[in-house]
A and B are shown apart, each in its own frame.
Chain A
């Protein structure tokens, strides 16, 4: 018979649960920063940009480089954002611009080529070994949220920054003129163009903004992840899962789906084995658990698409 759980261990598992929820939120917010740009570019321009993930990676690398040059995190953040924007616009100008009218398959292949190039490129420039970026001193400690519950400040900063960006995006998209054009472009691009709006310029603004958001995510996560080639690939696929669940082109959908995916993935990974042990013996639970936890978000996506083939919040008009 299993020993009865003590009050102390129950409190332990409760704090663990809260910590994992916070971790899930932090992961979800990060995914939102990446998915926001992706869904905008996809929704407005009908352009599948697989290279969005390497732009996140590039943001992290640029931050590490500028940090070694300046020694200040804030300066590194700002310089990295500017440099990432410049590089993104260069890519838009030389390659992506010629792909907007092509079909999805061609966009996938061309941007896949850019992934290969940039993943190898950062290896050549910065080496294959993982790099790291220190957390700014004033934000490097932990904070006591509740008795017995401590949490790193930096992760809270990421959550806060992500929510702030979400709010900013909401205001931009729903309250400003550019936002109005973006919303109109997401559903009726040809008509917006016919009304005399320079759609190419709109595309460039949207693209540049998306690139900066991805780079921002890269800079913010760099202190707690190792900065290495290929770090954008897995995040890219997750960001696609997010925008597909949320409904392509929908900012609200991206936000909700990002938090959903972040929470489901994090909680699944921490508690799946325990949940399975309720129903099966410990040893198969330990084998099946991790696999099931990794699959969970894909199962979620398949379920959502089965019942709602255009995502949770389909952008109207398509």
Chain B
């Protein structure tokens, strides 16, 4: 059985799942623990974990539930980030303007590219999403008034109706937390709905879904647009978190990292994407602290995870739980 097929058991109704609750509880309490350590460093690290978790959830929605392996999702993150940078350079920092603009441009880009990409299947889909990702990357590099290849710094974080709610690091943390929770709940509701069942059905057998009478293409395109908007949201927050934007945000390696995060946590679970983003970023920072050659350790780890730990961290949790209940 392949990883794609094994993933994504339907979301159970009525029963509380403790793992997602625990994940969000830990994230909600993390700033308190951070206050006892190097606060700015850890708070920043957890903020970027949550930002990338939003993008990873979007990728999980497409990969895990729709079987659409997107290799260009960093483009949406970049679009969201550049919306902040470009409006900022023109003197507009209010998120009442910049956030809807970021989401709208992401949605339009997703709609147009999705219309073309979704005509193709399997590896051709991977490659054509990569192609559009690369196009976005080169466009960003050509924005000479906004830094070109070197990127551009974001001088002031976004405001809301004039209030600088992102200026305090802890307040910013909880804003990102709220966005992550909302994205997670939105995707969860989507997956559990009738729409989600059609979308999942199209992953397992598109011909059958079409025969029943569903226009598979349109369902997939709607999901692609939603995932694109979530990517744009992540980019909007990322620009505020790093206060810097560059074309590197859109490189194909970034898109690959998003897929790795999702696989790390476990495909087709949504909260696995959060765990994956957390473990990827924490591992990178821990290993990076141990040795500058951290990739010598990280590379083989990826190989081992694929060979031996199928189903990611979530799969590992499941295996441990089964073992405990057997004893």
A binding-site residues for B, Cβ under 8 Å: 42, 48, 95, 98-99, 102-106, 108-110, 112-121, 123-124, 233, 237, 240-241, 244, 248, 287-288, 290-291, 294-295, 298-299, 301-302, 305-306, 309-311
Which residues on A sit within 8 Å (CB–CB) of B121?
309
* A99 CB, nearest partner CB in chain B, Å: 7
* A146 CB, nearest partner CB in chain B, Å: 35
Are B296 and A109 in contact, CB atoms less than 8 angstroms apart?
A: no
* B67 CB, nearest partner CB in chain A, Å: 10
Which residues on B sit within 8 Å (CB–CB) of A248?
123
Are B2 and A113 in contact, CB atoms less than 8 angstroms apart?
A: no
Are A310 and B124 in contact, CB atoms less than 8 angstroms apart?
A: yes
**Interface mask (B35-72 → A, CB under 8 Å = 1, otherwise 0):** 00000000000000000000000000001000001010
Beyond A106-B306, A305-B128, whether A112 also contacts B301 by CB under 8 A is no
* A185 CB, nearest partner CB in chain B, Å: 17
> 9 tightest CB-CB pairs across the interface, nearest first?
A113-B302, A291-B142, A117-B299, A116-B299, A120-B295, A110-B306, A294-B138, A103-B2, A298-B131
Which residues on A sit within 8 Å (CB–CB) of B131?
241, 298, 301-302, 305
* B138 CB, nearest partner CB in chain A, Å: 4
Are A301 and B123 in contact, CB atoms less than 8 angstroms apart?
A: no
Is B260 positioned at the interface, with any CB of A under 8 Å from its CB?
A: yes
CA of A310 to CA of B302, assembled, Å: 30
Beyond A240-B127, A287-B142, A290-B142, whether A104 also contacts B302 by CB under 8 A is no
Are B134 and A104 in contact, CB atoms less than 8 angstroms apart?
A: no
Which residues on A sit within 8 Å (CB–CB) of B310?
106
Which residues on B sit within 8 Å (CB–CB) of A309?
119-121, 124
29 residue pairs from A and B, CB less than 8 Å apart: A42-B123, A95-B307, A102-B3, A105-B3, A105-B63, A105-B259, A105-B263, A106-B2, A106-B3, A106-B306, A108-B126, A108-B259, A109-B305, A110-B303, A112-B256, A116-B299, A117-B299, A121-B296, A123-B293, A244-B123, A244-B127, A248-B123, A295-B138, A302-B116, A302-B131, A302-B132, A305-B120, A305-B131, A310-B124
Determine the main DSSP class of A at the interface with B.
helix
Which residues on A sit within 8 Å (CB–CB) of B259?
105, 108-109
Which residues on A sit within 8 Å (CB–CB) of B128?
244, 301-302, 305
* A61 CB, nearest partner CB in chain B, Å: 16
Of A95, A105, A118, A290, which one neighbours B4 at CB under 8 angstroms? A105
Is B219 positioned at the interface, with any CB of A under 8 Å from its CB?
A: no
Beyond A104-B69, A109-B302, whether A298 also contacts B252 by CB under 8 A is no
Are A117 and B295 in contact, CB atoms less than 8 angstroms apart?
A: yes
B binding-site residues for A, Cβ under 8 Å: 2-4, 63, 69, 71, 116, 119-124, 126-128, 130-132, 134-135, 138-139, 141-142, 144, 252-253, 256, 259-260, 263, 267, 293, 295-296, 298-303, 305-307, 310
Are B263 and A113 in contact, CB atoms less than 8 angstroms apart?
A: no
Of A106, A113, A244, A288, which one neighbours B299 at CB under 8 angstroms? A113
* A267 CB, nearest partner CB in chain B, Å: 17
CA of A44 to CA of B102, assembled, Å: 43
- Closest chain A residue to B296 by CB distance? A120
Beyond A298-B132, A301-B128, whether A104 also contacts B300 by CB under 8 A is no
Given contacts A117-B296, A302-B135, A309-B120, 15 further A-B contacts (CB under 8 A): A105-B69, A106-B3, A108-B126, A237-B130, A244-B128, A248-B123, A287-B142, A291-B141, A294-B138, A294-B141, A295-B139, A298-B131, A298-B132, A305-B119, A306-B119
Which residues on B sit within 8 Å (CB–CB) of A294?
138, 141
CA of A114 to CA of B301, assembled, Å: 10
